[in-house]
Amino acid sequence: MLKQELSIGVQFIPIAINNGKDGSNTMGYIVNILNVLEGAINFEHSGYGVLKDGDKKVYAIWKYALNDSIIRNYDLFRLKEHSVAMFCSEKIK
């Protein structure tokens, strides 16, 4: 059911997980989050530092505050400004 609900903006990649002890396989999925939102971080209320690497800015964020107006229609997403972090809505938590 969750797979059907999240079909937009999320890619489910089927995988076989090998149990090395007995050689059996368990089927599973890797979830690739395709929704990347720009401007969703509320920097005024977030805790962060900025490092500069030439013309690029690298953000070290330890406390996220997000803009509800940007994230409200997404259940799973990443942030353009900090793509390593992944977020999920209360709906699927």
pTM over 0.75: no
Give the C-alpha separation, 29 to 55, whole Å: 38
Residue 81: the pLDDT is: 84
Give the C-alpha separation, 12 to 76, whole Å: 13
Model confidence band, residue 10 (pLDDT cutoffs 50, 70, 90): confident
- Segments forming the whole domain that contains residue 61: 2-87
Residue recorded with tokens 């489910």? 12
Residue 93 within any structural domain of the chain = no
pLDDT in tens, 21-61: 888 999 999 989 999 999 999 999 999 999 998 998 888 89
Give the C-alpha separation, 86 to 69, whole Å: 18
Residue 92 within any structural domain of the chain = no
Model confidence band, residue 1 (pLDDT cutoffs 50, 70, 90): very low
Residue 5: the pLDDT is: 53
